[in-house]
Structure 1
Amino acid sequence: MRAVTIADFGTTPAVTDVAKPAAGPGEILVKVGATSLNGFDGAVVYGVFKDMMEHKFPITLGKDFAGTVEAVGEGVNRAVGDRVFGVVMKPVVQDGAFAEYVVVGEGYGIAALPESVTDAQAGALGLAGSAAAGVIDAIAPQRGEVVLIAGATGGVGAYAVQLAAAAGATVIATARPGKEAEFVTGLGAAHVVDHTGDIDAQVRALAPAGVSAAVHLAGDPGVLAGLLVGGGRLASTLGFGPEQAEGRDIQVTSVMANPDAATLDRLAAAVAAGTLQVPIGESFGLDSVAAAFGAFGAGTVGKIAITVG
């Protein structure tokens, strides 16, 4: 089968022929219809996690998947032909979703795909959507509170803006003027601050007393923490945790994406209901994944989708 692989850290991702996998006990073989690019994929290419996770080359890249069950192993309840989506969650980095087929476990990182949600939408939903749900759950925004989201133009940020706005919060999003600002306001941000300028001054002009909560997906977490009111909440996907905020009267949570079935079901139901947009900025075919990495590095807003089937 065709798959996007790397032969070593730092090598250029390329389409190669690899053996089609088979589903073992408790596993599902998915015929991939769509996937998407995440920061994790770039981190794998450059070896960011080489001392934290085991890697086996050649590595097939890709975390998100959406498609159809092709075959099931012993003890699996799903049926051939079922539409599913989710995130490849394996202890070894080797077999990803930038391929015509991927094997995943039934117990974690997979959910049923509602009929009205397309593969392209679901393929860009799992990892970024789960991370966004995690940070918004952590700060638990209340109606009328002001929430600052730093890194709002990326995939996680685009979902976080929508989830915070849906909770009734007044969202301040970081974005450059022009296309980026239009993007985040279209998702529900009430105000935009330019992250290339003085964020503190811009936010204070909108919320002189500070913000109730902040989401750290990019930039300096210390600046965000300094903008919180007493007892304010901050959630970070970039390793900023309670120990870094010691001595401050704030609550800090370090968040990792948790694509369990309940979270994936919640996200898919929101997309099906039309209350959550899947923010696809650009789309590429499997043969153009190298170009997709280039677009990611150039700062495409939203998600970069990859069509497989």
Structure 2
Amino acid sequence: MKYVDYYQVLGVSRDASLDDIKKAYRKLAHKYHPDVSKEADAEDQFKQIAEAYATLKDPEKRQAYDNLGRHPQGEEFVPPQGWQQGFNEGYGNFADVDLADLMAAFAAAQGGGKHHTRRGMRGEDFEITVPVTLEQIYSGAETDITVALPELDEHGLMHRRPRTFRVQVPKGAADGQRLRLPGKGGPGLNGGKNGDLYLIMRLQPHRLFRVDGQDLFIDLPLAPWEAVLGAVVQVPTPGGQVELTVPAGTTSDRKLRLSRRGLPGAQGAPGNLYAQVRIDVPKQPTARELELFSQMAGESAFDPRAQLYAGA
């Protein structure tokens, strides 16, 4: 069989602690996960990383692996004679077995001992990014999410299995907020508790509103005469349309505040909605509109660029 240097696969030293091994595995598993990696050999890399982790995180498997000695990566080798004892006859001279099968066989042999006991190990915690909408965090909402979570099979190899959860998006949740689903992470080993699943809520862009904390911003187009004369206009908010009074003489970029019309706070008062004025003009004015604008241009003494010449 070919020797695989599991320490080299994970990029850790042979005396690495369990925490170091876990950190290295999480980093590499994320990098080469077939769902996110663009590497051509991502799936093969991911499988080898999972094999290495399944062996080195288990104290007994790790000790057995270390007992094989050190060999160059990929070298053909035969396990020491002592390894022949205690395994099924089908493993014979190990010529048709790979290293992962060998370690799985060792674990099975060790687990069959009459007086053998193994300490329960808590399952791994997982973090998944979940898209949420502004409408969901404004009102709070239940939603189904389906995620492909890594899962170890009976041989300690990693596979992905789709799992669906019904979750409650909290009212007033913040972008990046973590939602914990206890016991929905990796399965525990030898009677250990399951890990937790953490959903990281990522707020999706909205077609109308820009979000800044609990405050919302929206562009408010006004006709030139509405800005000059003032007007009462309808403005959309997450809770429905409301009336907004535009003062006479409103200039472009002015922010008109609608108090408490922003996002709700998880604790405390909701934010505000700010309507940012953008003065628009007719793209295809009628003949009468052109006549009126021409008349105003001829009679008005207003110079919007006067301040550019001040002090010149």
**TM-score band (shorter)?**
under 0.3
Q: Which has the higher strand share?
A: 1
Larger Rg: 2
Normalised by the size of structure 1, how large is the TM-score? 0.19
